[in-house]
Structure formats: C-alpha cells, structure tokens
Amino acid sequence: MKIEYQDKTMALSEITELNATNSSTLRDEARAGLKHDVTSLDIDLSRTRFVDSSGLGALIALHKTMCGRGGSVRVINPTPTVQQVLELTRLHRVFEIVMTP
C-alpha cells in the first residue's frame, strides 16, 4: 500500500486485495498515517481485485475515524467487482464513490 499527501488529503493506493489477513494492517497503517491536518481520505481501489467482508469492515473503520475528525472518505475508481460488492452491501450509500477518467 502506498500513502501520499496533497494539501489536506491523504491518498491510499496500490492495494491489490482487502481480505481477512491484511485489512486490519491496512486500517492501522492508514490511521497511523493520518496527520493532524488531514480532513479527506481518498482510497484508490482501481487496482484492487478482491474485497471481502473484513475488507469492508476496514473501510468502514476508516470512515468512522474520518467522521470523528470532521472529515470524509472517498473511494476512487473501484474495479467493477469491488463496486458490485459495495452496492450489494449498500455501502455505496456510505462512501462517496468517485470515478475519474
């Protein structure tokens, strides 16, 4: 996973899978990387081939963390498979999903 910062946005990318074995690590590393001025978290899922319910749990945990500090989470370019899972579990109503060209 790669972490980058731009202004008040922290961006996570290069996530290939979000499953029961790696999602807590991702969550903890992302939380640790949150500098005090970050108000927006972008999670790039364009290279994520697989997300299971544990992965969804990690995304929600980060969403709660960000809400707690008055910020928000955006999910960027999820793959069709991942988008279907988000829609099936109705989490597309929770996260802002952004598709960029």
Please select the residue that binds another protein; options are 19, 46, 65, 72, rule is CB under 8 A: 19
User: Which pair of tokens denotes residue 37?
Assistant: 């001025």
By beta-carbon proximity to another protein, the closer residue of 44 and 55 is 55
Number of H helices, E strands in the chain: 3, 7
d(CA 89, CA 4): 28
Residue 26 identity: L
Per CB under 8 A, 85 contacts another protein: yes
Count of residues of this chain found to bind another protein when the rule CB under 8 A is applied: 24
Per CB under 8 A, 64 contacts another protein: yes
Least Å from the CB of residue 14 to another protein: 18
Per CB under 8 A, 89 contacts another protein: yes
In residues, how long is the chain?
101
Rg (CA), the chain: 12
Residue 99 identity: M
**Which residues make up the interface to another protein (CB under 8 A)?**
17, 19-21, 50, 52-54, 56-58, 60-61, 63-64, 81, 84-85, 88-91, 93-94
